[in-house]
Structure 1
Amino acid sequence: MVSSSHEALHRIFQEDPGLFARAVKGLGITFAGPLTGAPLPTDLTENRPVDRRLDTLLRMDAEDGESFLLAVESQGKPDPDKPASWAYYLSHLHAKYGLPPVLLVVCADRRTASWAARHADIGPPQWPSLTVRPLVLGPDSLPVIDSPDEAARDIPLTVLSAALHRRDPDAGAILKALATALNDLSADDENTASIFIELTEQGLGKTPAADLWRHIMAADLSFFQSQTAQSLRAEGRAEGREEGRAAGLAEAVLRLLERRGVVVSEEVRARIVGCSDLETLDVWFTRAVTAESAAELFTPGEG
């Protein structure tokens, strides 16, 4: 099953195809820009029961007239069968479209990035007929972007930086810089900001950085309409259809406090669970977005 973090590491290139050229500069590879990308079908299945699918496939067109195919693979762990699949992808794409293909492998951990960067020779050692040479982006090949100004200059690159450095000590600084940049962007283009908010959350996977990101999103009222806050509210209302709307919304309040690290006493828990008034629960949910203590749900502004 494809994980959401897997999805984010290649989908970010669909949102901004030009990110490819900017990201691989750190590898010493230069592609003429500006680049535009058009999505192509990722299904490489033949007329026999062999299902082969890329993660993302783009036709990249540069201003100088150069065109090539960009195949993006999000790789979560070393897989000895992958080089053969990649060789098939590249050969098939070259034959089908008549354009030179480039394989970009995006890895969120160093061990996988190191493995993926090895050149794979296909053929006898005396004369390999084919060599697979992927470009690999991992934590060591993409810079840490921890300045709000720098993040604002290239939000997609910062989202990718956050995803690839999600297990590093620098993750928090990247996320804070990104949040500031997205806050400014949301004032002009809320839809685009929401896309990158969601991609960031997906790209962080199940890591402490993901919990920090949810906390940052919840703590800033300008992001109250973000996917994170809305999904929590929706979860509560969905549960409410089965168990009573008030019970579902009460659970959403408790879940939000828990995700933000706010301590909830048994007395407070009982008060929230025991409330059956939807308007009151909705007010408590809104206050839970910024509350530093559970008591602030009931007496906001006091210690």
Structure 2
Amino acid sequence: MPSTGHELPLLLLRDAPAVLACLVRDAFGVELGKGLAESSAAFHELEPAAYVADLVLVGPDVVVVVEVQRARDERKRATWPLYLASAHARHGRASWLVVVALDRAVSAWARAPIATFQGGALTPLVIGPDEIPRVRDAEVARAAPELAVLSAMAHGRNGPEVVEIGAAGLIAAAEVGRRDEDRGKLYFDAVLDALADLARAALEASMKVEGHEYRSEFARRYVAEGREEGRADGLRTAVRVLCDALGIAWTDGRERAIAALDAHALEALCARIQRERRWPD
């Protein structure tokens, strides 16, 4: 599985370059346009040494160099102007540097202007947690699954909405899994890895991608341990969260119904709700 801190954001943006264009437009008012497609990310100097950016996207009128930054690295930061100048020289069009930094402190560091040429400076466009929306709605997650997964990665560690954000991310992974099973599983695990422990325990114990087995170590451990009654409280929480994510009204009668179920029956209920997207008759 790719590193959730570095390769996963790049994979999401490769799959859906339009997500990057929307984030940049909403955060900075910069229109990157439609039709972005991946291009070679290697930039060569006159000597044999090569510098390789994380991702380069080329559109009809723009070229976008994308860097994912997990930690402060002044040597890496010094290469960003080279990437941008090389991209401009190669493609001959407006060029932008976008840095994705899911850590708030790293995103603040990346925003500082970089002194460059002729007394000028390069100011990266930084997509940090504040620029990534908190996707909680199931329909939004299905319509923009890559954005929902990125939202879970950016916001799944803290805050009052982490369970709802996690549920939306898992719904997004299920949506992708209908088209590409391996990619859906990868996104599913990425969301689980991103969540805080309590949110992950509630969601991972119940939500399955229409019969796909979990791949994460936590889930394998849970399955191996069995479905003892001690997990029932977490599963009941997961039923409530899943219904909320899918827009299924919660009633006192449904609360009484889950109170009477054991862990095995609660897990089956969660799987059926996920599959049918309604409360079973």
Is TM-score (shorter-chain normalized) higher than 0.5? yes
* Secondary structure class of the residue paired with 1:52: strand
1:25-40 map, 5 Å: 25-31=25-31, 33=33, 35-40=34-39
Deviation string, structure 1 residues 15-61 (Cα, Å, up to 9, x no partner): 0111112112331324164x122221122244535341111111123
Partner of 1:157: 147
Confirm or deny: 8 A CA contact 1:12 1:156 kept in the other structure: yes
Structure 2 residue identity aligned to 1:120 = I
| Partner residue, 1:70 | 64
Equivalent residue for 2:99?
Answer: 105
On the 8 A contact 1:6/1:203 being kept in 2, the answer is no
SS in 2 for 1:102: strand
The 3 A distance-change label for structure 1 pair 99 and 79 is same
Q: Which amino acid aligns with 1:57?
A: V
Q: Given the two structures, how large is their TM-score scaled by the length of structure 2?
A: 0.69
Q: Which amino acid aligns with 1:105?
A: V
How far apart, in 1, do the equivalents of 2:188 and 2:17 lie?
Answer: 17
Cα distance change, pair 153–98 in 1 and its aligned pair in 2 (3 A): same
Deviations 1:166-208 (A, max 9, x none): 322233221112323444x36xx61346525413534775x55
Q: Which has the larger radius of gyration?
A: 1
Query: Which runs of 5 or more structure 2 residues have no equivalent in the other structure?
Result: 232-261, 268-281
- What is the aligned counterpart of 2:189 among 196, 201, 204? 201
Structure 1: 5+ residue stretches without partners: 62-66, 233-251, 265-290, 297-303
Q: Name the structure 1 match of 2:86.
A: 92
Corresponding residue for residue 166 of structure 1: 156
The CA deviation at 1:224 is: 3.2
More displaced stretch, 255-264 vs 214-223: 255-264
Letter of the structure 1 residue corresponding to residue 5 of structure 2: S
Structure 1 CA distance, aligned partners of 2:220 and 2:187?
A: 24
In the alignment, which of 180, 188, 206 is matched to residue 219 of structure 1? 206
Aligned equivalents of 1:260, 1:46: Cα separation in 2: 59
SS in 2 for 1:69: strand
Does the 8 A contact of 2:148 with 2:172 survive in 1?
A: no
- Secondary structure at the aligned position of 1:219 is classed as coil
* C-alpha separation in 2, matches of 1:46 and 1:70: 19
Normalising by the residue count of structure 1, what TM-score does the alignment of the two structures yield? 0.64
Determine if contact 2:146/2:172 at 8 Å carries over to the other structure. no
State the partner residue of 2:18: 18
Structure 2 CA distance, aligned partners of 1:172 and 1:5?
A: 20
CA-atom RMSD in angstroms: 3.4
